[in-house]
Amino acid sequence: MNRREALRRVAFLMGGALSAGTLSAVLYSCHRSPEEVTDHFTDQHKKTLTVLSDIILPRTHTPGALDAGVPDFVVMMINECYPEDQQKKFLEGLNAFNNQCRQAHGDDFADCSPDQQKTYLTGVEKQVFQPDASRDEPLHYFYRTAKELILFGYFTSEPGATKDLVYVPIPGKYEGCIPLKPGQHAWAT
């Protein structure tokens, strides 16, 4: 055995030893037992997220957020992927969102009329997306995060990627500059 072969074998053995421990840590950290996952959302919270998702991405000639199961995706992401402090902040913001709507229109967001929902949401959009708006305020954090997760959940779902975007399962060569036709969909891949 020469030096090169010995180094190759040592590297192989060390890589295997390190990989087993690393793989174990990664697999454990990515899997939470059902006891570790708590659903912090009430039925009213879920109803609000459902209505909000449908307003942000309604069904048109393409599927909408509800067709893609986006409200359940948002709940799953917050419950299973966000740290506890961000979960609390999201729920505080969701409660503030409903409380502010109740003060303005006398009811929770999900229970208001479509016109009241549109009026309220327009005001929230202006408030949250002002250049000097604090991202740390719970209402702002909730709305920005919810909107981001709604869009992410939809466009990475099968209906969003295949019906709203152009999806090529096995992409070919990269073409950086292609002519666009009126009404052409954006690319998912």
Residue 28 is predicted with a pLDDT of 45
Q: Are residues 16 and 69 in the same domain?
A: no
Q: Looking at the domain assignment, is residue 117 inside a domain? A: yes
Q: Looking at the domain assignment, is residue 187 inside a domain? A: no
Q: Are residues 27 and 48 in the same domain?
A: no
Structure tokens belonging to residue 81: 């992927």
157 phi, psi to nearest 5 deg: -85, 165
Q: Looking at the domain assignment, is residue 59 inside a domain? A: yes
Q: Are residues 103 and 145 in the same domain?
A: yes
**90-122 as b/e: b if 16+ CB within 10 A:** bbebbbbbbebbeeebeebbbbbeeebbeebbe
Q: Are residues 75 and 149 in the same domain?
A: yes
Number of structural domains found in the chain: 2
Highest mean pLDDT among 5-9, 38-42, 51-55, 180-184: 51-55
Who wins on pLDDT, 81 or 183? 81
Tell me if 147 sits within 8 A of 56, measured CB to CB. yes
Q: Looking at the domain assignment, is residue 110 inside a domain? A: yes
Q: Are residues 26 and 115 in the same domain?
A: no
- Which tens digits make up the pLDDT trace of 118-147? 999 999 999 998 888 887 899 999 999 999
Q: Are residues 84 and 20 in the same domain?
A: no
Q: How far is CA 46 from the centre of its chain?
A: 15
Residue 18 is predicted with a pLDDT of 45
Q: Are residues 113 and 144 in the same domain?
A: yes
Q: Looking at the domain assignment, is residue 176 inside a domain? A: no
**For range 40-49, the mean pLDDT:** 94
Q: Specify the residue for token string 């005001």.
A: 123
Residue 176 is predicted with a pLDDT of 76
Q: How far is residue 62 from each of residues 13, 57, 119, 161, 167, measured CA to CA in Å?
A: 53, 10, 25, 11, 14
Q: Are residues 26 and 111 in the same domain?
A: no
- Which tens digits make up the pLDDT trace of 77-120? 999 899 999 999 999 999 999 999 999 999 999 999 999 999 99
**Alpha helical stretches, state H, 129-177:** 138-155, 158-159
Q: Are residues 80 and 131 in the same domain?
A: yes
Q: Looking at the domain assignment, is residue 169 inside a domain? A: no
Who wins on pLDDT, 28 or 36? 36
Indicate the pLDDT class of residue 23, thresholds 50, 70 and 90: very low
State how far the Cα of 118 lies from the Cα of 18, in Å rounded to an integer.
Answer: 55
Indicate the pLDDT class of residue 12, thresholds 50, 70 and 90: low
Q: Are residues 25 and 49 in the same domain?
A: no
Range of 13's domain? Answer: 1-32
Q: Are residues 24 and 75 in the same domain?
A: no
Q: Are residues 92 and 27 in the same domain?
A: no
Q: Looking at the domain assignment, is residue 186 inside a domain? A: no
User: What share of the chain has pLDDT > 70, as a percent?
Assistant: 78
